[in-house]
Amino acid sequence: MAELIDLGLITDSQRLLKKLLDQKGIRWFMAGEGSRLIALDKAKIDLVVRTAERACVRRGGRPLAAAREHCRRQVRRELIQRLAFAMLKTGC
């Protein structure tokens, strides 16, 4: 089965993610409490996806649920990659 990808949604979410990372840093996306030592906050990831979705709706589109889920996975992957680079940079 083919997977639907909304490139506008992905682009908007990447732009917003970069903006938030520049303003607040990677630490803002980390969960404050929990059983794991290092965990991403799902609410912050959803914030990025919802904001990107609103930008798409303003342009006249409505992303499908599969496209939103793909966008959410892309944002998580980007954050995990940046977190790993930050850990390597600090010598963890």
| Chain segment 14-73, per-residue pLDDT in tens | 999 999 999 999 999 998 776 777 889 999 999 999 999 998 888 887 888 888 999 999
The 10 Å Cβ neighbour count of residue 81 is 10
pTM: 0.84
Q: Are 26 and 80 in contact (CB under 8 A)?
A: no
**Using CA atoms, how far apart are residues 60 and 41, in angstroms rounded to an integer?**
30
End-to-end CA distance of the chain: 41
**Using CA atoms, how far apart are residues 36 and 39, in angstroms rounded to an integer?**
6
Torsion of CA 68, 73, 79, 82, to 10 degrees: -130
